[in-house]
Amino acid sequence: MPNQQALIAPQELLIIGAAVKTGIIEQLSAKPMTIDELALAIGADSRALWVVTEALEALGYLSKDGNMLRLSEEALDMLYNTESPNFTGFSFMHRYNVTNSWTHLPEVIKSGQPSPREDAAENTKYFMAAMGHSAKEHARAVAGFCLTGLGDSPKVLDIGGGPLTYARAFAAGGARVTVQDLPNVVDYMSKFLNEDENIEMFPGDFNVVLSPDVFDLAFLGNICHIFGERENRELFKKVAAVLKTGGKITIVDFVRGTTAMAAVFGVNMLVNTKNGGTWTLNEYGAWLGDAGFSSPELNEVGGRQILTAWKK
């Protein structure tokens, strides 16, 4: 049934997102400023800046001391205080970028091509923050489920595991983890890794190569929706080649035909990728079977759908 409650503009996201994009937040995180000082610092129109900062104040992101603007305590907690229960960092900026792509859906429906993408370096930072944030709550449960039956200190290959949230949960469960991700992501994220974490990072495009080792478990967290049938079939074959016999593959993704979210998320992949999407259990079964795996089992853990199959 259509959800009329959902038919509202994401105004707060668009306002705070624009405040981050234009540098309002960064400038005010350094020091309080008047509207005119801020306008000069970020090269903005004073009238427009006044209207937007009034809204930011009304929404609780800014506070005013005389004519000086500053970030509110709540905004400081949310954006910068990693110890705060309200900390999100800048993870919402990924949603802001995605919302931008979604507004091109009418053109995408006609052309069949994804929305134009802005390749800004800070988007890697936002993407990693968003993925890390969304996995935080259920990573332990998912990792525990995936590690079941693998014995002591299994070797895990976490493909597309750049945000490190799942890798840390695997390591906490006793695994030795190799995280493979794109070189720019490994470059950025390896700074956040401590030497004693039992996690190493391998830079590499999974469409080209997988980390050359023998693993007990390959974890594919939300990567099968990025590409189409050909790439997934190839990836599953590469996974089979780096798993020991009897080794396990676990895939976290929305499975089309089993949840409404899979169809909706399919639209996200339509606007953001050339041939990504969400796939049915039958499709996964055929692709995994042809790559040498058993039929996949579908489970739900911590609200995430997980497919599990074993290398024959």
Ligand X SMILES: C[S@@+](CC[C@H](N)C(=O)[O-])C[C@H]1O[C@@H](n2cnc3c(N)ncnc32)[C@H](O)[C@@H]1O
How far, in Å, CA of 90 to CA of 88, rounded?
A: 6
- Tell me the closest approach of the beta carbon of residue 303 to ligand X, in angstroms: 13
> What is the contact mask toward ligand X in residues 205 to 244, using x (rule: CB under 6 A)?
xxx-------------xxx--x------------------
Question: Which lies closer to ligand X via its Cβ, residue 53 or residue 232?
Answer: 232
Judged by CB under 6 A, the residue of 69, 135, 269, 291 near ligand X is 135
CB 151 within 8 A of CB 174: no
Cβ at position 118, least distance to ligand X in Å? 16
CB of 46 to ligand X, least distance (A): 39
Q: Report the candidate in 27, 32, 105 with the shortest Cα–Cα distance to residue 68.
A: 32
Binding letters toward ligand X, positions 165-204, x by CB under 6 A: -x-------------xxx--x-------------------
Output 79 or 130, the one with its CB closest to ligand X: 130
Q: Does 162 bind ligand X (CB under 6 A)?
A: yes
Counting residues that bind ligand X (by CB under 6 A) gives: 19
**Long-range own/partner contacts, residues 167-173 (CB < 8 A, 24 or more apart):** 167/199, 168/139, 168/197, 168/199, 169/139, 169/140, 169/142, 169/143, 169/144, 170/143, 170/146, 170/219, 171/197, 171/198, 171/199, 172/140, 172/143, 173/140, 173/143, 173/144, 173/147
What residues are annotated to the active site?
Answer: 225
CB 70 within 8 A of CB 28: yes
Least gap, CB of 61 to ligand X (angstroms) = 27
Interface with ligand X in residues 84-103 (CB under 6 A): none
Interaction site with ligand X (CB under 6 A): 131, 135, 160-163, 166, 180-182, 185, 205-207, 221-223, 226, 252
